[in-house]
Structure 1
Amino acid sequence: DIIPNIYEKGEDPFILVLDEVSDVRNFGAISRTAECAGVHAIVIPDKGSAAINSDAVKASAGALYQIPVCRVHNILSAIDLMQESGLQIIAASEKADKDYTEISFKGPLAIVMGSEENGVSHKILKLCNNNARIPILGSIESLNVSVATGILLYEAVKQKKTGN
């Protein structure tokens, strides 16, 4: 119901999908960033995701009261539905061929972020229109999922605002 309502308002849907992000503080921080970036909804699987509890609300600075969180039984089906509704699906992946700055985040969009342990599942990566890599220049292998989410969300915001 959320996506048709967004289109009816004359807006392009901007959805965040979290594939088994399990840390409550990361989930809260991600929710805060998503709300600030204008994300319309967060989609999470009903199993393997962080609890939506007082710690998550606190870490979100109240953003979880503002942004709808949709728990789905099958995240692959949810992504299929988003694609059928005209959304481009972009997943974060360390193994992606393209840096996030080489990808268009314009138009109806869902960004998929993976779990702290395993990243985005291979089944989901195969469904996506694009996979985006955030370059790592130091010796640590990856960014915190909350930080990585912020980078991709605000790349989308930048491109939508500037047209680049």
Structure 2
Amino acid sequence: MQDQTQIFGIRAIMEAINAGESLDKVFLQKGLQGELFKELESLINRNSINKSYVPVEKLNRLTKKNHQGAVAQISPIAFHNLETLVLNVIESGKTPLFLLLDQLSDVRNFGAIIRTAECTGVDGIIIQKKGGAPVNGDTIKTSAGAVFKVPICKVDHIKDAVFYMQASGIKVITATEKTNNTLYDVSFKEPCAIVMGSEARGINPSILKVADAKAKLPLLGEIESLNVSVACGAFLYEVVRQRLN
């Protein structure tokens, strides 16, 4: 009924959700009706699982089996609970360092960021349940396996994670060009969480409003922005530099 990456069939997917399986996304056939199908939709919505309505041809490409109008992608990792992770890091006695990704969409950027995060001692990466890049085979490949070493949490909204970090005594710093401060003007020596925005629109304005500090990378050329994974690497290694000194 399932391989390592997919579950197909309405009942099989419902059973997987009820069993607590980590699903990245469920593809549902456009226009499909029926009581069982509606029950699946309701279950997906209650559990805040990413879903997409697609033509039957897309489902037929995803699997040759009898999918009944529903195919789910299984996440290759188990996601961590945010509150538990933050508490464990604080209690460990080390200076916390978290990374919040505000709806980053490219899986290769995501994988590259996870790899750099592992190399720089990031304690956890927080992503949003909907709208961001999935943890899939491409993510694993570009992370060079680091996806299995860095705890990843999913939250309903990144802003929820921002407020939780702040309530836990962790300073939230946004990487944005909408500031006069460069990352060299900001202290990363205390507990902190760095927010990186999506490739297309950057960080949500509502998150910029509530952040404790904003910082940008100085750009000396004519191009106005860096690739997000490169920018993230620069921020994380500034944290390392400050904390080593």
TM-score norm. by structure 1 comes to 0.97
Letter in 2 for 1:140: I
Q: CA deviation at 1:9?
A: 1.1
Greater Cα radius of gyration, structure 1 or 2: 2
Q: What SS does the corresponding residue of 1:112 show, helix, strand or coil?
A: strand
1:41-91: CA deviations, max 9, x gaps?
000011111010010000000000001110100211111010000001100
Q: What SS does the corresponding residue of 1:98 show, helix, strand or coil?
A: coil
> Does 1:44 pair with 2:133?
no
> Does 1:128 pair with 2:218?
no
Q: Distance in 1 between matches of 2:172 and 2:227?
A: 21
Q: CA deviation at 1:16?
A: 0.2
Q: CA deviation at 1:27?
A: 0.1
> Does 1:96 pair with 2:179?
yes
Which of these residues, 66, 85, 94, is aligned with residue 168 of structure 2?
85
Q: What SS does the corresponding residue of 1:111 show, helix, strand or coil?
A: strand
Letter in 2 for 1:95: K
1:87-145: CA deviations, max 9, x gaps?
01100111212011011011111000000001111111111111001011111110000
Q: What's the RMSD between the two structures over aligned residues?
A: 0.7
Q: Distance in 2 between matches of 1:31 and 1:159?
A: 21
Q: Give the paired residue count.
A: 162
Q: Aligned residue for 2:232?
A: 149
Letter in 1 for 2:178: K
Q: Aligned residue for 2:7?
A: none
Q: Aligned residue for 2:244?
A: 161
Letter in 1 for 2:133: A
For structure 2, the residue ranges without an aligned partner over 5 or more in a row are 1-83
Q: Distance in 1 between matches of 2:241 and 2:211?
A: 21
Q: Distance in 2 between matches of 1:150 and 1:80?
A: 24
Q: Aligned residue for 2:191?
A: 108
Give structure 1 regions of 4+ aligned residues with deviation exceeding 4 angstroms: none
Q: CA deviation at 1:154?
A: 0.7
TM-score norm. by structure 2 comes to 0.65
Q: Distance in 2 between matches of 1:74 and 1:26?
A: 20
Q: Distance in 1 between matches of 2:157 and 2:232?
A: 22
Q: Aligned residue for 1:60?
A: 143
Q: Could you say which structure has the greater relative contact order, defined with CA pairs below 8 angstroms and 6 or more residues apart?
A: 1
Query: Among the aligned pairs, what percent are the same residue?
Result: 51
Q: What SS does the corresponding residue of 1:70 show, helix, strand or coil?
A: strand
Letter in 2 for 1:16: L
